[in-house]
Structure 1
C-alpha cells in the first residue's frame, strides 16, 4: 500500500528470504513485477534505483545512527536529525531508523511513481501527482490512505491508544515500521557472538585465523570496527562505477559529497556493517560485486581490480553503453579522496577472512520465512508472490557459498 502504483512495498527491496535485500545489484522499484532477483521491468520506463538496497539487519543496536549509503540521515542529538526534509520533518520520530522510513515513499523511482501513473487497481496515483518538494503533503496523503483500511485503523489504535486516529501522522507509521525492523531483524546469536561469550568451539580454526587477520595485519578493522563492524564513516575505496549514477553528476555517483559538497567526500560511501554479510549480496554501494570474495579482493588492489572487472556479469540494463566508459568506471580511483593502500594477502588468507565473515552471520538470519505473513490489511497480494520467491530462492549453504 505504501507504493503509489501499489506495485512496490518495503519488501520489494528488502525481502527476508534474500538477506533483507533483493539480490539485485541495483533495485527495480516502480514499474517492476516480481520479487527479489526475479523482479523485472514490465513497462517501457526502465529506471533503476541508483544504489544497492542495504540490508535491514541489526538496526536496533546502539550506534545505528547514520542511514543510507551517503549518510543523508544522521541523528545528531536524541531528538534531532539531519535529513532531506530539513525543518519539514515532523516531530515525534523516535530514531534514525524511523526517519529513514519516511523517505522511500517520496522517491519517484523507488515507490511513488510518475505524474499520470495509474496503480495496479486502475486508480489514479494520487501520491505521484504531488510536487516533488511537498513531502509533508505526501506523508499526510499516505497516512490518510492507510487509515481508510479498517484493519490498519485497529492496529494503529492498538499501537497508539492515547492518540485519536485523526491526530496520527505518517511519523507514527514510520515509528511502527522502525519498531518492526528493529524487533524482527536484530540478531546477536552468530558464531562470532558465541565465541566472544566464551564458546571457543563456535569458530572453526580457519575462522579464528581469519579474525586475527581481520583485526590485525589485513587492516580491515581500521574501518570495520565495533559491535556493528563499521565506523559509520565515509570512505572512497575506488569501487568501479556502474549503473545510472545519481543526480546532476550522472552517470557518476559522488556519494557523500552530494550531501556535504566537500571534495574530500567525492565517491565516499558509508562503511557497511558486516553482521550477516555472507547473505547480503551483491556487495558495495552499487552492488558491483556478485560474490563476497570479489568484494574482499577489491580491497587488496583496487586499481588492478577495477582494470580487470568483468562488466559482462551485470544485467543488460546495467551495461548500457553510456554508463560503461573507462573514465566513468575509474572515476573514483582518480579522485583526491581515494585512499586505500594495497594489501598483500595470500589466497589462504582471503579464504580465512571469508570464513570469519561467514561467522558473523546469525543462524536465524539464514531462514527468515517465519517473518512473512500470510496476508496484509490492505488485501494486496502477499502469499502467492512470496511463496514463489521462497521456492525459487532457497536460503542454503550452497547459495551463500
Structure 2
C-alpha cells in the first residue's frame, strides 16, 4: 500500500477530528469517547474480548464495569475492531456483520442501520460508520432515560444526532474550528452531525494509516526487511496455508463473510425479534439463512497489536486464531471461557456463557463451519505468527497527531501521556 491508495484528507478537518475522537462530549452521559475503546495503546482496540462501554471506568485491560447506578447493564456484544487503513479507497464494507457499506440502497450512497434517515453529505464509508456508536446504548449513548441523546434515539435513530451536534458547536473553540476547516460552514450554528462524522473520518484516515511495515518494505524491494521465519510465514500465507484466499489484496481482506466457528459467548448482537443471547453474524443484516454465523474478514496490518481475536475476541493469541482456521470443529469443541479476555462482572457472569446450555443452538453453529484449511505443524504456525508480526508498522510511535492532553469540552482525556 502507498499513500495513493487512500482518499484525500483535509488536515484541518483531521486536526479537528483528533479532538472529537478523544472528547467524551460525543457520548450521551459525557463519560466515554471513541478513543476509550479504540486507543492506540491497544492497537486501536481495547485489549478486551468484549468491550466495557458506557458506564465503565478506566482504559483498556484495566477498564472495569463501574459501580452503583451508572454501572454497565451489559457488555458490548462484539470485539472492538482495529481502525488501521480504513480510509483506503477500496474499503467498502465495515463492521463484523457488514451492516455499514457503500451502496445506494436508500438514495444517500450508504447502506446503514439509519436507512433513509442517514443525512446527505457523508464523505466516505468510514464517516458513515462514525454515526452509529453515538446511538448505541452500550457503546456511547447510555440507557433510555439517562440523557437527552439516549431518549431521543429511542424514538428514531437519527433524533439524537442534532443534540450531539448542538453540544459540540456551542463550545466556542469547536465552533471556530469548524468554520476554519469546512468551506461551506460560515457560522458555528451551521454545524451538523455530518461535519462531525466527516472530521472523525479524516482524523482516523490520516492517523491510523499504516503502510510502512517490514512486509510493505519487502514488497517495495527491500528483501532484508523481513527475517527468515517471517519469510517462511509469508510463503505459507500465500501458499500452503491458503490464508490469502480470504486475506487478499492490498487490504489483506476480501471484505466478505465466512463462518469459521469462533466459539460464542456474551450477549450476542441479536436481531430485534430474537430472544436468544446469540450472534447470528451476517444473517442479522442480510436475512439470508446462508449467511448465518458468518463474519467479515478482518484486515491484518498491525494485527499483532490488537489481541484478542475473532468477532468476539474468543482467542488471546494469533496462534490460537490460526488453529481456529485449521481445525474449526476441534477448536470449537475444546474452547473454554479461560481462552477469552473477559473482565469479571459479577452481575453478568451467568449470562456471559448461557448460550452453551442451549444444545440446539450450539449444534446449529457447528453445522456451518467453514471447510478445514491445510494442516500445519506447530513450527509452521509459529512462522505464520512471525509473518503476521511483520505486518506491524515501523512508525507507529510517531503518529500524525497522537492523543491530546486536553479537549475543548474540558472533559478528561483517557490516558493523557500515551502518544
Report the TM-score, using the length of structure 1 for normalisation.
Answer: 0.90
Question: Quick check: 2:356–2:362 contact (8 Å CA) kept in 1?
Answer: no
1:126 aligns with 2:148: yes
Counterpart of 1:297 (choices 310, 323, 344) is: 323
Q: Residues 97 and 370 from structure 1, CA distance in 2 versus in 1: closer, same or farther, beyond 3 angstroms?
A: closer
Distance between the aligned counterparts of 1:167 and 1:387, measured in 2? 31
Give the superposition deviation at 1:142: 0.7
Tell me, yes or no, if the aligned pair for 2:405 and 2:416 is still in contact at 8 Å: no
Distance 1:251 1:199, change over 3 A: same
Given that 1:98 and 1:178 are in contact with CA atoms closer than 8 Å, whether structure 2 keeps it comes out as yes
Does the 8 Å contact 1:229/1:274 carry over to 2? yes
Per-residue CA distance 1:267-308 (angstroms, 9 max, x = gap): 000000011110011111000111111111111111111111
Once superposed, which parts of structure 1, at least 4 consecutive aligned residues long, lie more than 4 Å away? Answer: 366-370
Between the aligned partners of 1:326 and 1:85, the Cα distance in structure 2 is: 33
C-alpha separation in 2, matches of 1:37 and 1:94: 33
Q: Give the equivalent residue in structure 2 for 1:87.
A: 116
Equivalences for 1:159-308 in 2 at 5 Å? Answer: 159-164=181-186, 165-247=188-270, 248=274, 250-308=276-334
| DSSP-derived class of the 1:74 partner | strand
Q: Which residues of structure 1 form unaligned runs of 5+?
A: 118-124, 396-401
Distance 1:79-1:7 versus aligned 2 partners, 3 A rule:
same
Alpha-carbon distance in structure 2 between the residues aligned to 1:156 and 1:328: 53
RMSD of aligned alpha carbons: 2.1
How far apart are the structure 1 equivalents of 2:358 and 2:371? 20
Over 3 Å counting, the alpha-carbon distance change for 1:205 and 1:189 in structure 2 is: same
Contact 1:58 1:182 in 2 (8 A): yes
Match of 1:158 among 180, 205, 210: 180
Partner residue in 1 for 2:357: 325
Instruction: Say yes or no: does 1:349 pair with 2:388.
Output: no
For the 8 Å contact 1:17–1:368, the answer to whether it is kept is: no
Task: Give 1:331 shift.
Answer: 4.8
Structure-2 residue corresponding to 1:72: 99
Q: Which of 11, 34, 37 is the aligned partner of 2:35? A: 11
Shift of 1:94: 0.6
Q: How many aligned positions are there?
A: 380
Could you tell me how far 1:45 is from its partner in structure 2? 4.0
Contact 1:234 1:269 in 2 (8 A): yes
Inter-partner Cα distance in structure 2 for 1:351 and 1:116: 51
Quickly say closer, same or farther: Cα 1:212–1:45, change in 2 above 3 A: closer
SS at match of 1:132: helix
Distance 1:221 1:330, change over 3 A: farther
2:46 aligns to what? 22
